[in-house]
């Protein structure tokens, strides 16, 4: 997942961090019932096949993107998903902490901005995204919400935190179940990029750290949801091989496999390649960098299929100065984007550079001297068919604000899984 914002007053700086995080290549990544059994290392069976339809809501989206919890309702998306991951909380000082407290619990909403049409008052104890999400749950009681901690920028604290797994898990449990937002969160998602491997920083905790972390969190969180976002690097000796994901799987409800950002304009001269190929194809730039390779590697290691969710990106990645319309051409650099060069929301790129072809279960587009790849309702339908055929637990996507105002990609995920 991506970088979290910190404070309202520093949003412009953090906007840069966000866009930098969105640009991180996988080649660089080489990526509320109380607990009833505190202390018991229980195991989980995982969700029913294709039962999870999960989207990420980003804390910082309420700023420049002007995307709010109400948009989940007005777009129709809230009725078509089962879970929301709220990103991100921070991991620092060995503990889970709030990310941007202004966006999370302080920002005041007017009546027209609010999910239920009721304005916030100056003296109410909880405002911000958390209060709006509580209102969304009241309107759509089937939705379960997890608080996701870490992300690309805030993964550096996991190694220190895991020096005392029980204390780390306790701090996160206390925050997720804080009485100030009682009833909001149904569990926790841990987005460590990456255990015993390198992301923005490098971790050398050893392969067992993933299993140890998930065991500690399951023991503390009991019957609440405990999930993790995990790498899709299936190359030989790559990030899946770096940690004991199979051993940890018994303690998680599911893994969000980040099957996107395989390729992009961080390689400015190309070759052009789709950022989220479902399968390998002739000429793919890197062995093991495709969705199916990641799913099969996890399954072969012993992770149950129903504990794997297929990831979808609601954005495109592109180059400029391309030499050919088909994948595999050279380029001169990243194509222009609103938030950062080389990336653009689906709702924008679908019209700016319409699809001209498909490859490996995803779409690409050639317009002028630009080349983009992104998923469409049609390719998402194909990916959901794959998820069902593989008996996966479902799918997830990054993230809601990239979708159209009527939620056409979210609709494709939902209808595709059935």
Query: Which pLDDT belongs to residue 43?
Result: 80
Q: Within a domain: residue 269? A: yes
The answer to whether residue 37 is domain-embedded is yes
Q: Structural domain of residue 49, as residue ranges? A: 8-314+377-417
DSSP per position, 154-181: T-TTHHHHTTSHHHHHHHHHHHHT-GGG
In CATH, what number is assigned to the domain containing residue 194?
3.20.20.80
Residues 409 and 348 sit within 8 Å (Cβ to Cβ): no
For 228-248, how does the pLDDT look when each residue is reduced to its tens digit (9 = 90+)? 999 999 999 999 999 999 999
Of 375 and 38, the structure prediction assigns the larger pLDDT to 375
Q: Is residue 275 part of a domain?
A: yes
Higher-confidence position of 20 and 180: 180
Report how far apart, in Å, the C-alpha atoms of 87 and of each of 55, 130, 183, 229 are. 10, 12, 18, 11
Strand partners, 229: 256
Contact by Cβ (8 Å): 259, 293: no
Indicate whether 366 belongs to any domain: no
Q: What is the pLDDT of residues 313-353, one digit of tens each?
A: 999 999 999 999 999 999 999 999 999 999 999 999 999 99
Average pLDDT value for the chain? 91
The answer to whether residue 202 is domain-embedded is yes
328 close to 276: Cβ distance less than 8 angstroms: no
> Looking at the domain assignment, is residue 353 inside a domain?
no
Question: Distance between CA 70 and CA 140 in Å, rounded?
Answer: 12
Number of domains in the chain: 1
Q: Is the dihedral of CA 215, 217, 223, 227 positive or negative?
A: negative
Does residue 337 form part of some domain?
no
At 10, the pLDDT band (50, 70, 90 cuts) reads very low
Each residue's pLDDT tens digit, 121-156: 999 999 999 999 999 999 999 999 999 999 999 999
Report the pLDDT value the prediction gives residue 244, as an integer from 0 to 100: 98
Q: Which pLDDT does position 50 carry in this prediction?
A: 77
Q: Which of 168, 16, 24, 143 is nearest to 89 (CA)?
A: 168
Positions marked active-site: 193
Residue 334 lies in a domain: no
């Amino acid at each position: 997942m991506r970088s979290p914002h910190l404070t309202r007053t520093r949003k412009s700086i953090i906007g840069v961090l966000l866009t930098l995080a969105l640009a991180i290549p996988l080649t660089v990544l080489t990526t509320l019932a109380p607990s009833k059994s505190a202390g018991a290392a229980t195991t989980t069976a995982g969700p029913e096949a294709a039962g999870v339809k999960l989207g990420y809501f980003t804390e910082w989206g309420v700023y420049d993107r002007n995307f709010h919890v109400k948009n989940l309702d007005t777009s129709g998306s809230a009725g078509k998903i089962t879970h929301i991951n709220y990103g991100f909380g921070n991991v620092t000082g060995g503990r889970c902490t709030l990310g941007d407290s202004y966006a999370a619990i302080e920002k005041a909403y007017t009546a027209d901005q609010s999910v239920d049409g009721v304005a916030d008052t100056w003296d109410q104890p909880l405002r911000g995204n958390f209060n709006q999400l509580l209102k969304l749950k009241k309107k759509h009681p089937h939705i379960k919400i997890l608080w996701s901690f870490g992300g690309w920028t805030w993964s550096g604290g996991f190694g220190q935190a895991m020096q005392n797994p029980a204390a780390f898990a306790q701090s996160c449990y206390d925050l997720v179940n804080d009485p100030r937002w009682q009833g909001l969160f149904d569990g926790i998602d841990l987005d460590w990029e990456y255990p015993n491997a390198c992301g923005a920083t490098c971790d050398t905790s050893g392969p067992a750290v993933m299993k140890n972390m998930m065991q500690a969190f399951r023991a503390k969180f009991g019957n609440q949801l405990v999930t993790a976002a995990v790498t899709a690097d299936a190359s030989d000796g790559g990030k899946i091989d770096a940690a004991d994901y199979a051993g940890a799987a018994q303690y998680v409800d599911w893994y969000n496999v980040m099957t996107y950002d395989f390729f992009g304009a961080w390689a400015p001269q190309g070759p052009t390649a789709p950022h989220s190929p479902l399968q390998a194809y002739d000429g793919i730039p890197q062995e093991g960098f495709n969705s199916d390779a990641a799913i099969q590697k996890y399954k072969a290691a012993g992770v149950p299929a129903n504990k794997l969710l297929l990831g979808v990106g609601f954005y495109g990645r592109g180059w400029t100065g391309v030499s050919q319309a088909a994948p595999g051409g050279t380029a001169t650099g990243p194509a222009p984007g609103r938030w950062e060069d080389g990336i653009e929301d689906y709702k924008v790129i679908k019209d700016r550079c319409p699809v001209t072809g498909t490859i490996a279960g995803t779409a690409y587009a050639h317009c002028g001297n630009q080349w983009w790849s992104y998923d469409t309702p049609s390719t998402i339908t194909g990916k959901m068919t794959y998820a069902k055929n593989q008996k996966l637990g479902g799918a997830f996507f990054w993230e809601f604000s990239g979708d159209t105002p009527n939620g056409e990609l979210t609709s494709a995920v939902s209808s595709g899984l059935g």
